[in-house]
């Protein structure tokens, strides 16, 4: 059985990721245009990257709920809101995202926009989660799910260490790991449909989507190289024996800071990803 994700242990990486993905948050917020003075919620807010972008859009006359189940991440979101000067209208609250009662007591007013990034796929019953979020919307309010797209890629195919395609095989092992994780969840329910179908099944209309590109070409700066090294190390550790022996040996060489093949010294690291945002509106 795969180990569960311990989000508190991911705090540093998620904090860096929030900074890395800030351009995507800004682009998505520009597209969604949350209303000035409105009420919005960042559900599963993580380190609060999108929280502060939404708070800047609604302004001091609005309210932003930053909701997560992990206190360590909420602390990061709280500090980020203070640093950006939006803490006065940002409500940082701890809540389990799986129960109707938890969210209903956390978000106490009808919401103009709910943003949920890479959250719903972690819920045992994805359709029930989307239904739950949709019920919090005011008539005409929107639910935006950042799910799907293309995952972050960082490395050239041929690294000169191990067989070409090492990063692609790591991604395949992660997919298998996550499939096992979902299968092991208590009360897991299959959702064999794409996100637009699930949004429509929740009674939302005008369902649409837009994708946003993150493109940081080589050579990366020091902070981004550190992110690549840390991220790869955690990912390889997580999948463990799902990689074959040759690939594990190659990763061991690449992640050895004292070795000649350490990936952190490479000049050809890059960051490329596509985030897709699916949106549906509650009928007026």
Contact 266, 232 (CB under 8 A): no
- Read off the pLDDT of each residue in 128-145 and give the average, rounded to a whole number: 96
Among residues 272, 268, 245, which one has the least CA distance to residue 163? 245
Q: Which pLDDT band holds residue 103 (cuts at 50, 70, 90)?
A: confident
Q: Look at residue 1 and tell me whether its pLDDT is greater than 70.
A: no
Query: What 3-state DSSP class applies to 255?
Result: coil
Q: CA-to-CA distance for 271 and 284, rounded, in angstroms? A: 41
The DSSP symbol for 105 reads H
Query: What 3-state DSSP class applies to 174?
Result: helix
Residue 17: what pLDDT?
76
CATH topology of domain 7-281: Rossmann fold (3.40.50)
Structure tokens at 187: 């009360």
Q: CA-to-CA distance for 105 and 22, rounded, in angstroms? A: 30
Among residues 105, 97, 108, which one has the least CA distance to residue 67? 97
* Cα four-point dihedral sign 217, 177, 42, 65: negative
Are β-strands 150-153 and 137-146 bridged in parallel, bridged antiparallel, or unpaired? Answer: unpaired
Report which of residues 73 and 277 the model is more confident about: 277
Residue 2: what pLDDT?
43
Among residues 31, 20, 79, which one has the least CA distance to residue 54? 31
Length of the chain: 284
Q: Which pLDDT band holds residue 6 (cuts at 50, 70, 90)?
A: low
| Sequential DSSP letters for 132-155 | HHHHTEEEEEEEEEE--SEEEE-S
pLDDT digits (tens, 9 = 90+) for 158-184: 999 999 999 999 999 999 999 999 999
- Between the CA of residue 168 and those of 42, 134, 165, 213, what are the distances in Å? 31, 35, 5, 19
- What is the share, in percent, of the chain residues with pLDDT greater than 90? 80
Residue 9: what pLDDT?
56
Q: CA-to-CA distance for 36 and 61, rounded, in angstroms? A: 7
Q: Look at residue 102 and tell me whether its pLDDT is greater than 80.
A: no
pLDDT digits (tens, 9 = 90+) for 34-75: 999 999 999 999 989 999 999 999 999 999 999 998 898 899
Structure tokens at 181: 């994780």
Residue 141: what pLDDT?
98
- Read off the pLDDT of each residue in 101-128 and give the average, rounded to a whole number: 88
Q: CA-to-CA distance for 32 and 54, rounded, in angstroms? A: 10
Counting Cα atoms < 13 Å in the Cβ hemisphere of 166 gives 24
Structure tokens at 265: 């010294």
Q: CA-to-CA distance for 32 and 92, rounded, in angstroms? A: 22
Q: Which pLDDT band holds residue 11 (cuts at 50, 70, 90)?
A: low
Q: Where are the domains of the chain?
A: 7-281
Residue 97: what pLDDT?
79
Q: Look at residue 214 and tell me whether its pLDDT is greater than 60.
A: yes
């Amino acid at each position: 059985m795969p180990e569960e994700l311990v989000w508190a242990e991911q705090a540093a990486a998620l904090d860096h990721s929030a900074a890395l993905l800030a351009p995507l948050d800004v682009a998505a917020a520009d597209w969604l245009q949350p209303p000035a003075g409105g009420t919005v919620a960042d559900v599963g807010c993580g380190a609060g990257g999108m929280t502060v972008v939404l708070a800047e859009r609604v302004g001091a006359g609005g309210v932003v709920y930053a909701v997560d189940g992990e206190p360590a991440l909420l602390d990061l979101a709280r500090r980020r809101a203070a640093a950006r000067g939006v803490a006065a209208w940002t409500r940082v609250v701890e809540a389990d995202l799986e129960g109707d009662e938890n969210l209903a007591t956390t978000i106490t007013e009808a919401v103009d926009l709910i943003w949920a990034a890479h959250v719903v796929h972690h819920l045992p019953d994805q359709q029930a989660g989307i239904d739950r979020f949709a019920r919090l919307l005011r008539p005409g309010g929107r639910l935006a799910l950042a799910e799907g797209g293309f995952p972050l890629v960082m490395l050239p195919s041929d690294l000169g260490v191990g067989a070409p395609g090492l990063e692609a095989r790591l991604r395949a092992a992660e997919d298998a790991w996550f499939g096992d994780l979902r299968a092991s969840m208590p009360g897991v329910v299959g959702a064999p449909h794409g996100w637009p179908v699930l949004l429509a099944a929740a009674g939302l209309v005008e369902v649409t989507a837009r994708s946003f590109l993150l493109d940081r070409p080589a050579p990366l700066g020091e902070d981004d190289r550190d992110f690549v090294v840390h991220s790869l190390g955690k990912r390889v550790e997580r999948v463990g024996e799902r990689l074959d022996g040759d690939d594990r040996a190659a990763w061991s060489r690449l992640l050895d800071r004292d070795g000649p093949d350490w990936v952190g010294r490479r000049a050809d690291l890059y960051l490329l990803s596509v985030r897709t945002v699916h949106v549906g509106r509650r009928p007026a």
